[in-house]
Amino acid sequence: MSASLEKGINALREQVDSTVATFFSSCVHCGMCADACLFYTETGDAERTPINKTEPLRRIWKYEYTLFGRILKLFGLAKPVDEKLLTDWETLVYDSCTMCGRCSMVCPVGIDIAGVIRKTREGMAAAGHAPKGLIGATQRAITIGSPMGVKLPALQAQIRHVEEDLGVKVPVDVEGADYMLLLSSMEIMNFPEFIGAVTRIFDKAGVSWTISSEAFEATNSGIQIGVSDLAAELVQRVVDAAEKLKVKTVISPECGHAYFAIRWDGPNLVGKPFGFKVRHILEVLDELRRDGRLKTSGFEEQKLTYHDPCQITRRGGVIDEPRNLIGMFSRNFVEMPEHGKMNWCCGAGGGVSSNERADDIRLKVFQRKKSQLDEIRPQAIISACSNCRIYLEDGLEEYNMEIPVLSLTETLAEHLED
């Protein structure tokens, strides 16, 4: 056995706990998860059935953690976890899963399939079977501080632009601020308007906030690739900065997996509860709305819909907040046929967008989103994840659909009362 394969198998072993054992013990091979997965519904490839993607971890559990499986193994009847299996499964685990978690909502016996796929990725990555694009993004995140290679001067330049445009100071490294805002590289490079929008809203609402020059990156490639050690290192940078600035709450920006990483996985990765709260920007804005600190004027005339980012909604619990906020500036809002916790993924989450090899399938499975949009024909789509935004735009362009994709925070900022 090669050293990397052994590392992979050990990493899989570390993932086996009572949840994994219960889930595998309960699967009845009903196949319903396939119909919940856009990678099956849009391709018709049975091998992309969600539960099948967990096969490497299932074999470890069965032949090492059950009495009957161990007896089978003793008689040489165990199916092995070998290089071939991991090679064959790499495209299933990474290219054909956005960890959107829709399968976990549908499984009749209650298997959190997406959670088990996330665990399977730990073994795949440790054995060296992760996609190049994700390995590169993770390396850049560790060495440079950003998966896209964005450094502090780039952020400083964007901040200067915002300050010049708005005539308002963007607070950086302010000790004792209530909130510390994180940003995704994609926001810094592709959607700097987001920084301006938050600045305007917080300025009007009188929020005490700051950005840390030492830890401004919100994304966490370690989570996507499935390497907990690296994910923990990235979380720790945020923890150190938040503690140094003594902030009460860290705000995750409009980015799905970044929110999941810092809000739900973060404390578990670093092994202790945080001394501060973590909130998604939409949760913070909704709190301001509730407290009457957000004053808006005017309404969007166009027919709007909201694309629920999987990690923020289904996997993250931020479901009502965006709808409350959209209600402040839209009277022509339509839900997609399946929305909220049952929404369909854009097809680009969970590291799929960082994996060039998956470009074709990503665009193919976008047809699920397309058919949802075809049913309600909105004039604009609002979302709260910059990765969703970019790849919704990409998909819409591929299928010649001219629907603008807007940021919730930015649209809200446009309706702020002067």
Q: What are the residues binding other proteins (CB under 8 A)?
A: 16-23, 25-32, 34-36, 40, 44, 46-47, 49, 51-52, 65-68, 104-112, 115, 263-268, 271-274, 277-278, 313-319, 337-338, 341-342
Between 149 and 317, CB nearer to other proteins: 317
Between 115 and 149, CB nearer to other proteins: 115
Between 65 and 136, CB nearer to other proteins: 65
How many residues belong to the chain?
418
| Shortest Cβ 16–other proteins spacing (Å) | 6
| Shortest Cβ 290–other proteins spacing (Å) | 16
| Shortest Cβ 228–other proteins spacing (Å) | 12
Place of tokens 């849009």: 42
Give the H or E element holding residue 405: strand 405-407
SS3 label, residue 259: helix
| Shortest Cβ 345–other proteins spacing (Å) | 14
Between 188 and 235, CB nearer to other proteins: 235
| Shortest Cβ 264–other proteins spacing (Å) | 5
Between 12 and 159, CB nearer to other proteins: 12
| Shortest Cβ 338–other proteins spacing (Å) | 5
Between 43 and 379, CB nearer to other proteins: 43
User: Sheet holding 405-407: strands in order across?
Assistant: 304-306, 380-383, 405-407
Between 47 and 203, CB nearer to other proteins: 47
| Shortest Cβ 359–other proteins spacing (Å) | 25
| Shortest Cβ 270–other proteins spacing (Å) | 8
Between 135 and 319, CB nearer to other proteins: 319
SS (H, E, C) the chain: CCHHHHHHHHHHHHHCCHHHHHHHHHCCCCCHHHHCCHHHHCCCCHHHCHHHHHHHHHHHHHHHHCHHHHHHHHCCCCCCCCHHHHHHHHHHHHHCCCCCCHHHHHCCCCCCHHHHHHHHHHHHHHCCCCCHHHHHHHHHHHHCCCCCCCCHHHHHHHHHHHHHHHCCCCCECCCCCCEEECECHHHHHCCCHHHHHHHHHHHHHCCCEEECCCCCECCCHHHHHCCHHHHHHHHHHHHHHHHHHCCCEEEECCCHHHHHHHHHHHHHHHCCCCCCEEEEHHHHHHHHHHCCCCCECCCECCCEEECCCCCCCCCCCCCHHHHHHHCCCECCECCCCCCHHHCCCCCCCCCHHHCHHHHHHHHHHHHHHHHHHHHHCCCEEEECCHHHHHHHHHHHHHCCCCCCEEEHHHHHHHCECC
| Shortest Cβ 86–other proteins spacing (Å) | 20
Between 4 and 41, CB nearer to other proteins: 41
